[in-house]
Structure formats: structure tokens, C-alpha cells
Chains A and B, each alone.
Chain A
């Protein structure tokens, strides 16, 4: 296996392979962040862009990759693998892809290291850029957000393809021959996404993978077990304070992962999507806003003290991240605040007052205050059929008010029939209509009275017969006058 490669070439080759591995990881992870990548061309060489390609280096990703490699290089039997998996908000996870950077025994002894190998590695990176947008996981990662998140894991050693399900497909990105062996870059990806489809058919939205931009819900993390709806209300109220909670949770798993030698998957989440304002503490671009909110909740007496600590964190995070852009973290608990939509007058706190399940509830007139004073509600002489009456009026659905209040069973509507004027007559059409609908019962029709008279009639019959028999002559005379 050892060739005539000289030591300088060998050093160069090792360096190229090392940086190629790091750039490969960057390209793959950045392609699964869920946002479009854009880097600028530069005609004047800066000297720091490996393979003449502008590929940003996310520090955490480089750190993880170096940790996985642990000073080694991909070699025969030792491959560098990047595993991309999906995790839902309920905690279910599924492996989507395994990207493998392998080395095999086939050597190309004639090839020039510093020129041909370098250029071919550059071409291979370009191919990787193209292929990472083409596998099914790309579209999934572009739509990640509140339903699921995409995680990555880097490991070194034997390739493990078991988690990809049955019938996974492989695409080869490319190969580059070197005097030490042939570098191969490939991707094995899952095609059986049945797990996802059964989960999402029950969704109210009816969309399999709702886009992040449509969401204004709070984003749950992979470490939460509460359903999103519950979390949204609690997070709304604890919004600034949750930062403290978030930081604590952040610290925990990072420490955990470090101890376990990167077996713990790392979450890829880019805050700063249209759906909400991220409050993760390590975001320099948004950290300032988050810090302001933190200051707002702390007591003023602590104001001076607290002002110092967020700013120091801020400078730390600014120096840590390479750019002003948001960068993913090893483990991220990203909290999205509920955005107030345009033209909404009500502040967030009052959202719960308006019954959210009635459409256009914002425009419904408020009748709660009028209820007691309204004579319609407590008419003085009306019989005991108010509730059904109100129910029937409610269901009539006249052009008047239509608000509902979910607290009471029935509510008195300000009944305004169409085309009626209520200021001329004391008795308006509405009142007439109501009384017309509620006439008093006829006494003879009431069952009690009927039953009572029947019994009396039967008892009084003999007396009446006796009286009539006495007056027979008068009756006969009367009948004769008629004839």
C-alpha cells in the first residue's frame, strides 16, 4: 500500500483530506439547517478558502467534526459518517440519511497531489453542494420547525446503515483517486417515510409538513414532552423568564453529550425564521432583544447587575460565532414568541378573552356588560320560559348581534329585527315579536282546569237534571215559540 509518495506530498495529501473532511461536514450540516445558503465569490484569493470554494465554517460543527475524527483521517475501514435524523415534537426520531466519506484500497500512484487531487477534491465538494439539495431530506429540512427538527451526528469508524429502514437508496457523490487510496463520498438515504405520514394525517391543518413561516406557535424542542398547544400558553406567560429555564436546559444536554462522546444527536435549528423571535441565549443577532426582555422581568433593583451579565454573555457569543448570522448549536432549546399580527389591536394578553374558536370573534359586539341592565333579559311578567326563548332567539340568527360567550349557557341578545325603528313607539317590533311569541295560555286549555271541571260536572249532573225536570214546561213553551 505504501507508495513512492514523498513526505511533502504525503503531508499535503493528509492536510487536504483532513480539510476536505471538515468542509464536507460543513456542507452537509449547512444544507440541513433549513434555510438557503449564499456565499460570495471573490476574485482575489484570500488564502483561507479551502478548495477555492466559499464554504463557511460554523464553529460548533467544526468542533464536533474534529472531536469525532480525534486526530485521525478517513482510511480503509475507518469512515467518517454524518448521520442526519429527524425528531418530532413528541420525541419520535427517525434516521433520514447517512453521508459516508470512505477510503478504499485502489490507489492512483501517478496522480499529482498538489494540483490534480486538490482540484478534484474541489470538484467533489461542488458535487456535494448539488447533491445535498437533491435528496428527500432536503425538502424535509427546509420545512422543519414546530412539528419536527433535523439533527446531525458525526461518527468515525464503521458505517451503520441499519437505521435507514428497508429499501434505502444510495447515491454516489464522487470519487478522487490518490496515491494512498481512493476517496469516496456517498449518501445512503431512507425512502420509506411511512412513519411520518401516519403521524401527520391526523393534523388539523391537513398539510403533511406545514411550513415554518405559517406557524406562530411556540416551537417546542426535542426535550419537551408537553404537547405544543399546552406549551404555547405557558410559554406566552413565562416568555422572558423561560430564558433562564432555557439556559439551564441547554447546559445540561451539552454536558451530557460531551461525556458520552457524541453519541447524542445535535439539533439543527436556525432561529430567526419568519415564524417568530428566537430567544436562545447564544444568538448574537437576537440576543440583544432577548436580553432586553430579560431585563424587563427582573426587578429594577437588580437592573444594574443584570445589565452587566447579559452584555458580557453577548460579547462572548459575538466572539464565538463567526458571523452575525444565527448559527445552530449542539443542543438548542429555541423558544418562539407569539407574534402579533398586523392590524391586531388587542395586545397578546387579551387574546384569551376573545373566544378563539369563533371566527371573526374580534368583530363581535361585546354584550357582557349589557346583560344585567337589559330589560329583555329579565322581563317583569313573562312566564317561566325565558331560557328556551333565548335559545330560540339565538338560533334564529337575525341580523343583529351574534356574539357568543362560552361562559354562560344562554345570553340575551340585543334583538334588533331588520328595518325596525325602536325609538318611535314604546312598544317596538322586537318587543311585539317577543310577546307575540309568548302569549299566555288559555285557561280552558290548561290541563288542570280541564281535569277539575270534569269531576265537578259529573258530581253536579243529578242536581242539574232535577232542576231541569222542574222547568220542563218552560222549556216546552220555549221550543214552541221557535217553531
Chain B
């Protein structure tokens, strides 16, 4: 089975990086999260309820919807913050990208470790621009807002294709498909990583791979 790959590109001002990334990541995760599963004895399960909330951006004329899960929001904000810092410190042209990868775990026999098989990868390429005047910033607010509207429509279009999704697992397998570590929602297993690229487009500085599940260990 091939991994589906989607690429989005945005050009933003420095202070808009966080909100733009959060908007895209949250929109994708909204579609890729379910309520908590509660397995019953007969092998059936019931699903919890997912709440949603609107988030207004401070630096962009844009509002996005995210699942009502503070844990998930915190996890995303943490990694987006690191990405923003890395972008700022890179001193390059302000080019970078974040990848949100949904994967399934496949148990392997000892001594081999579990395999992580991605089935969908969302890549967001960011180009940071520097603006001089307040008027330019105001225009940028509106333009980036419109661009993000387009990105949301693109994301929804992809989600609507109803392509491959992992099968609903049995209770013993649920951790191979879903991230069950959160209290209120259950997204598919995912990883977020980012890269800062220089003008040549090659990966120069640290490529950080981070398993969000580990950072969520409370």
C-alpha cells in the first residue's frame, strides 16, 4: 500500500508562522481524530464524542476549527514553537517545512522493533518573508488569511476522497492504529517532524524527529 502524500505551501511573515502551521495541522487532525473507543465484551465498541472549537488568529485574518482537546493543542504548539525557533535561528532565507505523518505500527518478532508504516503524509512548506511597513503587514494579514482559506478547502478536498484508512482495530490492536494516550480524543497515530532548508533546498540543519506520544507522557 502506498503512502499518500500531500504538499501545501504558504508564504508568511515571521510572526504568522505559528498560527499558520497550527491552522493547517489542526484542520488535518480534526479530520483524523475520533472519539475515544470503549470496547465492550462482545468485541464491539462505542465511540466517545469529539467537541470542536473556533480559534481566532491574532496575526492573520483567519479562524480555524480544532478538536477540543487541550492536550493535543499543547503538543502541537510545542512542536510548532520549536519549528518557529529553528526557522528564526537558521538565519537563512526563512525556508522550512513541517511534516505530519500518519502511520500504523506493525508488530515484528523479537528482536526486530515494530515497524512504522506511514499511510498519509502532509507536508507544509513555509517561506518566511520580512515586511517593512505596517501597511504591508496589514495586507499580508488579509492575503495569508485568504491563502489559508484555500488550504483548508484543499485539505477538505483530499479528505473527501475517502481513500485508504486503516481498518478499525480490535481492542488488542488499537494502539497500532490510534494514539490512545490522550484523555478526550483519539487521533490516528501520527508523527510531526520539521526541516529547515537553505536556499539550495537541501536539508542543512537538524532534522528532528520526535514521537509526540513520548512528549505526551504525563
A interface residues, Cβ below 8 angstroms from B: 36-46, 49, 52-54, 115, 120, 123-124, 126-127, 129-131, 133-135, 138-139, 142, 171-175
Contacts and interface: CB of A to CB of B under 8 A. Distances in A.
Contacts of B174: none
Interface SS majority for chain A: mixed
Contacts of B52: 37-39, 53-54, 126, 129
Q: Contact size class for B?
A: 35 or more
B51 A123 contact: no
Given A38-B54, A129-B30, A45 B157 contact: no
B183 interface: yes
Contacts of A37: 52-54
A131 B152 contact: yes
B56 interface: yes
A41 B162 contact: no
Contact of B68 (A38, A130, A171, A175): A38
Which one of A124, A127, A134 has the greatest number of beta carbons of chain B within 10 Å? A134
Contact of A42 (B31, B48, B53): B48
Nearest to A173: B156
Nearest to B53: A38
A41 B69 contact: yes
29 contacts: A38-B51, A41-B67, A43-B35, A43-B36, A43-B184, A44-B38, A45-B38, A45-B47, A46-B49, A52-B34, A52-B48, A52-B49, A54-B51, A54-B52, A123-B160, A126-B52, A130-B27, A130-B31, A130-B64, A130-B65, A130-B155, A130-B156, A133-B54, A133-B65, A133-B152, A135-B149, A171-B153, A172-B160, A174-B156
B54 A134 contact: no
A452 to B, nearest CB: 73
Interface of B: 27, 30-31, 34-36, 38, 46-54, 56, 61, 63-65, 67-69, 149, 152-153, 155-157, 159-160, 162, 168, 183-185
A120 B162 CA distance: 8
A41 B51 CA distance: 4
A43 B183 contact: yes
SS class, residues of chain B in contact with chain A: mixed
B116 to A, nearest CB: 24
Nearest to B54: A36
A134 B159 contact: no
Given A39-B51, A129-B52, 12 more contacts: A40-B68, A41-B67, A45-B38, A45-B46, A52-B50, A53-B52, A127-B31, A127-B159, A127-B160, A133-B63, A134-B149, A174-B156
A308 B17 CA distance: 57
Contacts of B35: 41-43, 45, 52
A339 to B, nearest CB: 23
A175 B34 contact: no
A42 B184 contact: yes
Contacts of A130: 27, 30-31, 64-65, 152, 155-156
A131 B156 contact: yes
A54 B49 CA distance: 6
A212 B177 CA distance: 46
A130 B149 CA distance: 9
A60 B36 CA distance: 31
Contacts of B68: 38-41, 54
Contacts of A171: 153
B54 to A, nearest CB: 4
A175 B49 contact: no
A44 B48 CA distance: 5
Contact of A43 (B48, B64, B155): B48
Contacts of A41: 35, 48-51, 67-69, 184-185
A126 B149 contact: no
A54 B68 CA distance: 10
Given A38-B68, A126-B31, A134-B149, A53 B160 contact: no
A135 B157 CA distance: 15
A45 B48 contact: yes
B159 to A, nearest CB: 6
Contacts of B152: 130-131, 133-134
Contacts of A43: 35-36, 48, 183-184
A172 B48 contact: no
Contacts of A134: 149, 152-153
Contact of A131 (B51, B153, B168): B153
Contacts of A38: 51-54, 68
Nearest to A135: B149
A396 to B, nearest CB: 39
A131 B63 CA distance: 11
Given A41-B35, A41-B184, A130-B30, A52 B156 contact: no
Nearest to B152: A134
B68 to A, nearest CB: 5
